[in-house]
Structures are given as C-alpha cells and as structure tokens.
C-alpha cells in the first residue's frame, strides 16, 4: 500500500492519541499524563495562535539565522555523481537544526507558565541548544548527559555551563543518551508541576513526536521552495541521518506528499549491523516500547534494551521516532545503515572538497548519499538531484575525528 493510500485510510497522523499506525502513543507513568495533556493542549492552541506563530518565525529569522542556505556543492557533487544540494542547518545559531525545536519548546514553556526546563543530550548539541534557549528565555536549565558522552563531548559540556545550565553526568546503564533520557524522565516525574521536559528529538510519548515535527518542519518547507527556486523542479531524493530522527523528519515532512521525491534515512551502522555493534534501530531492531512510545527498538529476546554503538554520539540511541517507524512500514521512506568507516570517509571528503566540516551525524547522510546516488542515476537515466540535510557542523567532533584520522599531535 502506498503512503498516500495508507494515510487516506487511517487519517491524519498522528491520530488524537498520538499513534502513527501501530506506532507512537503513550507508555508512561500515570503521574506524567496530566503534564502531557497540558502540553498537548498548549501545543494545539499555540499552533492555532497567529501571535505565537509570528513570534516563533521572528525568533527563527532574527535569532537562529534561518532560513538556512541551500548550497549547490559542486566539487562534492562531482565525486557523488549527483547534483547535491546541501541544506546548511550547520550554519544555524548553535550549529545545528536543533535550535528550531528548542526555540519552539521554550516559547511553549513560557506559555504554560513553567520556570524550569530539563533535557537529555547525546552529542551535546541538544543540550547546548536547550541551554541557549533557557538563557534567552531566563529559564532554569538542567541537562542530563551520559558519562561516556560528557567525556567524548567535553567542549559541549563547557558550553552548556557557560550558558548557565547545570550538566548532570549520568553513570547508570550504558552511560549514553538512553540513560540520560531515563534520568530526565525521573526528574520530570518528580518535578512536573514547574518543569517542562524539552525532549530533543521526535520521539518519546505523545505529543512530543508531533510537536517536535511541527517545530523542525521548517527545514523541509524551506528546502522544498529553495530547490524549486534553484532548479525549477523538486529533487529526486532527500536524504538525512536518523538517530531519534528529528532532522530527518524536519526535512522529509514537506516532501511526504510528493510521490516522486524519494526519502532516505541513514542509520548509524557502527561496526556493521551484522556485528551487533550498531545503532540502526529500524534496520537491525524490532517493534517494541521504549521511552514512552512504541517504535523500532534494539532489544534482546526478553525486551531488554540493547546498548547501541556509533562513532556519532548524536546517533548513538537504541530507538527511533515513531513516525519514522511508520514511514518505514508504509514504504514511503527507505532506511539504510551507514558504518562508522563509511561516515568518516564522507566526512573527510566534504572537508576536502567543500571546506565544510560536517557533524559526524550529518556525515552519515553524506555517506548514504554517496551509496544511493549511482543506483538513482541508473534508475532515472540521468544525473539525479539530491537534497542532503547537513544537520550540524563538526566543531564538536574535532577531537573524535582527529583521533579517528590519527592527526592529533601527541599530548606532552
């Protein structure tokens, strides 16, 4: 069944209870339901409120620096064998697409009269973005971050602290994003009256997947128009990396109704899906419940969550947003794994051909694009046009990449 036919059958997504087909919903302690209902109502009235939308648009334009550029990367294109248009979300304030989501949720926090935000972060990008919005809106801010991640992303920890946030290293479980999310949920259960949980991706219990999508969908809305302006046509494909999947949903959403535009999400294949050391929840996982939603999850035979592995902290998560699970099942989007090595090769290629250092997360989108471009060209019988979401910049990854390439001078 096509995505359109499926959508026509089951109505707009998500349904009022937050289901995307068999995915999504709410698997949460009862203590959180009132807060989720409050958030859902605030989100609905805010999106219908002209003044709210205008304030959000002004912040995105004047503060975050959007619309981000759509850049024709010619030297990179020559190596890909496709006309590659980079959606330069790396140029946004704070260096990634995440700023869109946090500004929207910070506005909602203020609208609900709450004074404190908490967040989980993997790479630190969402934590930095949340700390930024908290400073701008004068909100108290606590960021939970896995201890493994605080070590591999030390600069982002410092950034958050400079911005006035409290960073709490989480030493439980695998000490990465999943455990940071558990700890943020525990904080929220205890402090829900005055606290908003500013989830950083299009996952978690309803209404988060729909709400985050609404705040990041500008990426695709802009890119669609920019591509039409630049090329006179829609792209043949749109590609993005997928961890939780907010940047991918952000760019996909505007194109879901364009049946000729192929949508590709590239998951973190780590050492290779066949090794078991990866973070490819759709390719290598199965349907289950994690962090409040039903989606694809890396789990064992007993439903215990497996540890994920990726060179990219931002993709190192054993679940994925429920709308991606639905887009996969419906066949509207295609999800493929990209290994650490493939991502790092694409990382280096973009550095050398375009003078742009991408986030390692975004390098997965570049690597996947390199893989699908020849197939697409063969299928179309011409050079394809591919819009790639360059979701973030690589400044935060200099240490990891330097280590990987062996180009750091030894410390004295």
With DSSP H G I counted as helix, E B as strand and the rest as coil, what are the percentages for the chain, rounded to 5? 50, 20, 30
108: buried, middle or exposed (CB in 10 Å: 19+, 13-18, 0-12)? buried
**b/e sequence 373-391, b meaning 16+ C-beta within 10 Å:** beebbeeeeeebbbbbbbb
Please pick, among 174, 246, 310, 391, the residue that the annotation labels catalytic: 391
10: buried, middle or exposed (CB in 10 Å: 19+, 13-18, 0-12)? middle
Instruction: Identify whether 361 is a catalytic site residue.
Output: no
**Which part of the chain contacts another protein (CB under 8 A), choosing from 26-34, 77-85, 336-344, 387-395?**
26-34
Residue 233 within binding range of another protein, rule CB under 8 A: no
Report, in Å, the least distance between residue 177 CB and another protein. Answer: 12
Q: Which is nearer to another protein, 25 or 95 (CB)?
A: 25
Residue 199 within binding range of another protein, rule CB under 8 A: no
Residue 113 within binding range of another protein, rule CB under 8 A: no
**Which part of the chain contacts another protein (CB under 8 A), choosing from 28-36, 263-271, 339-347, 385-393?**
28-36
Residue 26 within binding range of another protein, rule CB under 8 A: yes
- Alpha-carbon gap, residue 268 to 365, rounded angstroms: 10
Residue 170 within binding range of another protein, rule CB under 8 A: no
Q: Which is nearer to another protein, 24 or 220 (CB)?
A: 24
Instruction: Identify whether 391 is a catalytic site residue.
Output: yes
Contact between 106 and 115 (Cβ < 8 Å): no
- Alpha-carbon gap, residue 227 to 303, rounded angstroms: 43
Numbers of helices and strands, H then E, in the chain? 17, 15
Please pick, among 68, 89, 98, 312, the residue that the annotation labels catalytic: 98
Instruction: Identify whether 98 is a catalytic site residue.
Output: yes
How many chain residues interact with another protein (CB under 8 A)?
35
Report, in Å, the least distance between residue 194 CB and another protein. Answer: 11
Q: Which is nearer to another protein, 20 or 76 (CB)?
A: 20
- Alpha-carbon gap, residue 120 to 134, rounded angstroms: 14
Residue 290 within binding range of another protein, rule CB under 8 A: yes
Element (H, E) at 39: helix 30-47
Contact between 200 and 101 (Cβ < 8 Å): yes
Contact positions vs another protein (CB under 8 A): 17, 25-31, 33-35, 172-173, 178-179, 182, 185-186, 189-193, 288-292, 297, 299, 301-305
């Amino acid at each position: 069944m096509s995505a359109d036919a499926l959508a026509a059958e089951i109505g707009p997504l998500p349904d009022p209870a937050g289901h995307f087909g068999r995915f999504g919903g709410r698997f949460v302690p009862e203590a959180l339901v009132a807060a989720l209902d409050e958030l859902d109502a605030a989100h609905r009235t805010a999106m219908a409120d002209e003044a709210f939308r205008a304030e959000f648009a002004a912040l995105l334009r004047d503060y975050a620096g959007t619309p981000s550029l759509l850049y024709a990367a010619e030297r990179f294109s020559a190596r890909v064998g496709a006309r590659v248009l980079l959606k330069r979300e790396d140029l946004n304030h704070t260096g990634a697409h995440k700023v869109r989501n946090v500004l929207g949720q910070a506005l909602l926090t203020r609208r609900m009269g709450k004074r404190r935000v908490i967040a989980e972060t993997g790479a630190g990008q969402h934590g930095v973005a949340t700390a930024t919005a908290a400073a701008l809106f004068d909100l108290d801010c606590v960021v939970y971050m896995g201890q493994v991640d605080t070590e591999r992303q030390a600069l982002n920890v410092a950034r958050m602290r400079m911005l006035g946030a409290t960073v709490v290293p989480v030493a439980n479980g695998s000490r990465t994003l999943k455990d940071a999310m558990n700890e943020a949920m525990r904080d929220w259960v205890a402090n829900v009256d005055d606290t908003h949980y500013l989830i950083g991706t299009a996952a978690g219990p309803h209404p988060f997947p729909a709400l985050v999508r609404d705040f990041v969908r500008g990426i695709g809305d802009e890119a669609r128009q920019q591509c039409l302006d630049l090329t006179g046509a829609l792209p043949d494909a749109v590609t993005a990396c997928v961890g939780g999947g907010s940047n991918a949903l952000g760019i996909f959403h505007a194109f879901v109704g364009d049946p000729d535009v192929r949508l590709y999400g590239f998951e973190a294949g780590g050492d290779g899906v066949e090794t078991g050391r990866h973070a490819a929840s759709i390719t290598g996982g199965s349907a289950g419940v994690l962090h409040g939603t039903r989606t694809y999850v890396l789990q064992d035979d007993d439903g215990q969550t497996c540890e994920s592995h990726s060179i990219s902290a931002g993709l190192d998560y054993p679940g994925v947003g429920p709308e991606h699970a639905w887009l996969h099942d419906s066949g509207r989007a295609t999800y493929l794994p990209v290994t650490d090595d493939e991502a790092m090769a694409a990382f280096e290629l973009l550095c050398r051909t375009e003078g742009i250092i991408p986030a390692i997360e975004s390098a997965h989108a570049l690597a996947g694009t390199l893989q699908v471009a020849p197939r697409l060209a063969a299928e179309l019988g011409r050079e394809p046009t591919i819009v790639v979401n360059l979701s973030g910049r690589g400044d935060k990854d200099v240490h990891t990449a330097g280590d990987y390439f062996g180009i750091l001078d030894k410390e004295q």
